[in-house]
Amino acid sequence: MAENNKTAAAGAVPAKPKPAAPGAAKPAPSKPAASSSGVFKPPVDRPEPNPYKDSRVSDLAAWFQERFYVLVPVIDYLKKKEVPKHRLSFWYYFGGLALFFFIVQIVTGLLLLQYYKPTEAEAFASFVFIQQQVPYGWLIRQIHAWSANLMVLMAFIHMFSTFFMKSYRKPRELMWVSGFILLVLCLGFGFTGYLLPWNELAFFATQVGTEVPKVAPGGAFMIDILRGGEEVSGETLTRMFSLHVVLLPGLLMLVLSAHLMLVQVLGTSSPIGYKDTGMIKGYEKFFPTFLAKDGIGWMIGFALLVYLAWAFPWEIGVKADPLISAPVGIKPEWYFWAQFQVLKDLAFEGGELLAIISLTVGGVVWMLVPFIDSKASKEEKSPAFTIFGLLVLAFLLINTFRVYLEYGW
Ligand code: HEM
């Protein structure tokens, strides 16, 4: 460290001041001078190698502390962070569960990538190989498929629970907006991943799904971009694959970092009025208490995953044949059923465009709720928004159920 200082002093910028006599008052830190060229040069000397030096930690910890000392206040902050306890605290675990299933996706996805081949000729065969020949390949594939579904489910539950607790209110607007983007990205994962096994169901569902923008302005261009041509083909598979394994994970990690950073910086909210009416039963430390409880949730989530993968395996189906006509009963993944039902209900001249416009406007309004609900931001109850949330939830559940009644699972 002393050496560091020497090297720095020997460098171009300010000359090192002479050490003060013992006991003398410390000189005031001099202002960083502008160089002769007028360009600001930051000071090179660092007065103390580790301003947070803690003699109580082990040598190894001290070694790391000296190198990563900028993180010390962050860790101290996390140690002090507290989460309110009240009768709705249970709902705070769903964000963490969505995070857990995302991590499972990354790990199992990387393992699947070792054997999966994203070409029209080999994709289906590579899935059969993973499922039947690779040791524990079936388990990894099933966990990946189940975890994808559970991640979307957790993100939905988490979204509605934060909505009804009005957690989106000032200053957490951007937590909501970043969360909404995360949900869209999760849905994007589902959509792009669906085609990868290159089986019949995936092929025709992607054909229907990528057809949707057709009636919108610039729709033909969008279809062309999505499909890599006029029809769903091996080109489409390449595009879906690259979106699924490169672009979407990158974007999701970026937005997730912002989301989680906001969670740490702004802390956890409590429902409106809970503090004033004494409904907060106390606070628990985020680290380690809340995190340990999160860990229990994650273990339960993992046990559930393994059970579902073993007891309810997803089928591989039959290889896609673009030359045959679509079999009856083609439908998307369950999380698109509500939108699918709206498109079916509005299947008249101009109805499809109406459906696209209404769903898009609805989505944008939903994303901007924190900026519209001014009452909640003033810590006042906003029953109109609670009713709005209930209507949105009812719309999604009823339409999803209608598709289930017509098509089955
Ligand atoms: C991949 C998806 C997501 C992950 C991994 C995730 C993760 C998390 C985590 C770990 C927390 C802190 C614990 C908690 O309050 O549950 C949190 C808080 C929050 N999330 Fe998410 N989230 C996701 C999606 C969403 C969505 C879709 C929304 C809403 C549109 C959203 C809005 C919020 C809000 C408002 C909070 C603050 C809660 C509070 O302070 O009371 N998140 N998220």
Confidence of residue 47 (pLDDT cuts 50, 70, 90): low
Tell me which residue has its CA closest to atom 22 in ligand 1. Answer: 95
- Best residue among 99, 178, 263, 266 to mutate for probing ligand 1's pocket (most ligand atoms within 8 Å of CB) is 263
Does the C-beta of 98 come closer than 6 Å to ligand 1?
yes
pLDDT at res. 407: 92
Average pLDDT, the chain: 89
Does the C-beta of 118 come closer than 6 Å to ligand 1?
no
Task: Flag whether 66 is in a domain.
Answer: no
pLDDT at res. 79: 83
In the predicted structure, residue 384 carries a pLDDT above the cut 60: yes
DSSP characters over 95-158: HHHHHHHHHHHHHHHHHHHTT---STTTHHHHHHHHHHTSTTHHHHHHHHHHHHHHHHHHHHHH
pLDDT at res. 58: 85
> How large is the average pLDDT for residues 21-50?
60
- Best residue among 104, 153, 161, 175 to mutate for probing ligand 1's pocket (most ligand atoms within 8 Å of CB) is 175
pLDDT at res. 3: 39
Contact between 155 and 105 (Cβ < 8 Å): no
Task: Give the whole-angstrom CA distance, residue 19 versus residue 66.
Answer: 23
Task: Flag whether 103 is in a domain.
Answer: yes
Task: Flag whether 47 is in a domain.
Answer: no
- The pLDDT tens digits of the residues spanning 172-213 come to 999 999 999 999 999 999 999 999 999 999 999 999 999 999
Task: Indicate which CATH number applies to the domain containing 236.
Answer: 1.20.810.10
Number of structural domains found in the chain: 1
More confident residue, 31 or 336: 336
pLDDT at res. 307: 97
Task: Give the whole-angstrom CA distance, residue 168 versus residue 87.
Answer: 19
pLDDT at res. 12: 42
Task: Flag whether 261 is in a domain.
Answer: yes
Task: Flag whether 372 is in a domain.
Answer: yes
Confidence of residue 325 (pLDDT cuts 50, 70, 90): confident
Task: Tell which atom from ligand 1 comes closest to the C-alpha of 172.
Answer: 35
Does the C-beta of 166 come closer than 6 Å to ligand 1?
no
Q: Which domain holds residue 385?
A: 81-407
Confidence of residue 327 (pLDDT cuts 50, 70, 90): confident
Task: Tell which atom from ligand 1 comes closest to the C-alpha of 162.
Answer: 35
**Total-model pTM:** 0.87
Confidence of residue 6 (pLDDT cuts 50, 70, 90): very low
Confidence of residue 40 (pLDDT cuts 50, 70, 90): confident
Query: Which whole-number Å values give the CA distances from 142 to 137, 146, 330, in the listed order?
Result: 8, 6, 22
Contact between 45 and 5 (Cβ < 8 Å): yes
> How large is the average pLDDT for residues 275-284?
92
pLDDT at res. 36: 63
Task: Flag whether 4 is in a domain.
Answer: no
Task: Flag whether 288 is in a domain.
Answer: yes
Q: Which two tokens stand for residue 82?
A: 């507290």
**Closest by CA position to 179, among listed 98, 93, 290, 78:** 98
**Closest by CA position to 330, among listed 196, 199, 201:** 201
Task: Flag whether 49 is in a domain.
Answer: no
Which H or E element spans position 341? helix 337-345
- The pLDDT tens digits of the residues spanning 225-269 come to 999 999 999 999 999 999 999 999 999 999 999 999 999 999 999
